[in-house]
Amino acid sequence: MAKKIFSGVQPTGNLHLGNYLGAIKNFVELQNEKDNDCIYCVVDLHAITLKQDPKELKNNIRETAATFIASGLNPNESILFNQSLVPAHSEGSWILSCIGRMGWLNRMTQFKEKAGKDKEKASVGLYIYPILMAADIMLYDATHVPVGDDQKQHLELCRDIAQKFNNDYKVNDFLVPPEPLIQKQFSRIMSLKDGLKKMSKSDASDLSRINLKDSNDSIINKIKKAKTDANPIPSNIEELENRPEAENLIGIYSNLKNQNIDVTLKEFGGKNFSEFKNNLSEQLIDKISPIASEINKLLNNSDYLDKILLTGAEKANEIAEKKVKEIKKIIGF
Ligand code: AQP
């Protein structure tokens, strides 16, 4: 059945393997499925929930768009744009913030993680981030949202907001509660330095992640230095329990090869990590090196990237503006 897809990535630099395997790879597969309507957004309004340098932000917006295209998104098949060019996102977000409840937001684990110990100093925007995300999705009546596992809770909140809006205003099915599309296996790629922490753009150590712009040498070096444990690779999944770093690396390899983890364990069971790591580096280079060179090529043509984003924003604006008008009518404006 055809799906209406919406998803986004923050232009906060250092796009990494977790963003690719957890989200962008899925974006491309959904675009290539027949009949889906896909909208992919560089969510720059989300990015400013943490302080950004204006010059870097501008570059990162282009770089995120370049990564989308280099990974296989086609601006003639999917709508690609950046959020701040479509005012309906901010307007819809305000209205939905009057529907969402404080208690719901208080449960969001991502806020707790990103705000850290000093919550008093976190921006209000960081706190209400999931409300903006709900507006992003529901302005387009998206039925499905491809995301990494870390975004599951935000999608549940989005569904709660849709249901409350529809109940409060007695408009059955007006806001569409979206379904998350999360990969079944290895939907959360972990840090190369700590198998219990997710791979993240903001990790201070560059060795913790594979960036999509990394050179081949850098990939080899990072995988060589990736944390493992003293035991050889097991032959079955049960023996991966309590071995988070081993599980992560084996998961990455399986994901890159689009194969079940059992197949990988059969291939490497009993072998030591150095041999496995050589194979993993090869797979990573095969996948990432063409993306990296395409990103760099596209970044040399910023006018082209800006034009794609602007054209996409015009298309997105047409859809989102209409939905906001309907919302305003429903609430009595
Ligand atoms: N480690 C990950 N594994 C799987 N999926 C991931 N995603 C992010 N990290 C992983 C998915 O990538 C999409 C875009 O993420 P984002 O940039 O909008 O926000 P994020 O989740 O905050 O990404 P980071 O890298 O973790 O950034 P920082 O360090 O700023 O917090 C989302 O679908 C996300 O699930």
Q: Which CATH class is domain 4-187+302-331?
A: alpha beta
Question: pLDDT-derived band of residue 117, with 50, 70 and 90 as boundaries?
Answer: confident
Pocket test for ligand 1, best of 6, 12, 19 (most atoms within 8 A of CB): 19
Give me the active site residues, please. Answer: 114, 198, 201
CB 85 within 8 A of CB 315: no
CB atoms within 10 A of CB 135: 28
Which residues form ligand 1's pocket by a CB distance below 6 Å? 9-10, 12, 18-19, 22-23, 147-148, 150-151, 188-189, 198-202
Question: pLDDT-derived band of residue 288, with 50, 70 and 90 as boundaries?
Answer: very high
CB 295 within 8 A of CB 63: yes
Q: Which atom of ligand 1 is nearest to the CA of 190?
A: 1
128, two tokens: 């209400």
Q: Which CATH class is domain 206-297?
A: mainly alpha
| Alpha-carbon gap, residue 128 to 96, rounded angstroms | 10
Gyration radius of the chain over CA positions: 21
For residue 186, is pLDDT > 80?
Answer: no
CB atoms within 10 A of CB 121: 8
pLDDT of 38-91, one tens digit each?
A: 999 999 999 999 999 999 999 999 999 999 999 999 999 999 999 999 999 999
Ligand 1 centroid distance, CA of 9 (Å): 7
| Alpha-carbon gap, residue 60 to 54, rounded angstroms | 10
pLDDT of 187-196, one tens digit each?
A: 799 999 999 9
Ligand 1 centroid distance, CA of 168 (Å): 33
Ligand 1 centroid distance, CA of 270 (Å): 33
Task: Give the residue extent of every domain in the chain.
Answer: 4-187+302-331, 206-297
Residue 78 three-state SS: coil
Mean pLDDT for the chain?
A: 96
Bridge-based pairing state of the strands 4-9 and 37-42: parallel
Q: Tell me whether the CATH fold assigned to 4-187+302-331 matches the one assigned to 206-297.
A: no
**Angle subtended at Cα 112 by Cα 110 and Cα 117, rounded to the nearest 5 degrees:** 145
For the chain, helix (H) and strand (E) counts, in that order, are 14, 5
